[in-house]
Amino acid sequence: DGKLHIMLLFQLLFLFGVIAQPIMCFTVYVMRHGQTDANANEIEQGSADFSRLTDLGKEQASNAYQALVDTRVTSIYTSPLTRARQTLEQLRQADASSTQTVLPPSDLILNDLREIDQYDWQGQSYSELKRQFPESWRAWEKGIPDEMKVLETATDIVHYPLLEMWERADRVWSEILDLEKKQQDDDNEKDRSVLIVAHGNLGQALLGSAMGWDANSFNEKGVFGNCGMAKIEFLDLDTSPRKVANRWRWQWPVPSAWSPTTTT
For 219, counting Cβ atoms within 10 Å of its Cβ (0-12 exposed, 13-18 middle, 19+ buried), the class is middle
Give how far the C-alpha of residue 145 lies from the chain's centroid of Cα atoms, to the nearest Å. 20
β-strand 192-198 against 26-32: which pairing, if any? parallel
The yes-or-no answer on residue 180 being catalytic is no
Alpha-carbon distance 147 to 216, whole Å? Answer: 11
Angle at 61 between CA 55 and CA 62, to 5 degrees: 90
CA distances in angstroms from 48 to 122, 124, 239, listed in the order given: 7, 11, 30
Alpha-carbon distance 34 to 40, whole Å? Answer: 11
Are 47 and 119 in contact, with CB atoms under 8 Å apart?
no
Are 38 and 66 in contact, with CB atoms under 8 Å apart?
no
List strands edge to edge, sheet with 259-260.
108-109, 75-78, 192-198, 26-32, 229-234, 247-252, 259-260
The single residue of 33, 44, 180, 199 carrying the catalytic annotation is 33
The yes-or-no answer on residue 159 being catalytic is no
Alpha-carbon distance 143 to 125, whole Å? Answer: 19
> Is residue 223 within a helix (H) or strand (E), and if so which, with residue range?
none
The single residue of 44, 115, 180, 199 carrying the catalytic annotation is 115
Q: Which residues are catalytic?
A: 33, 115
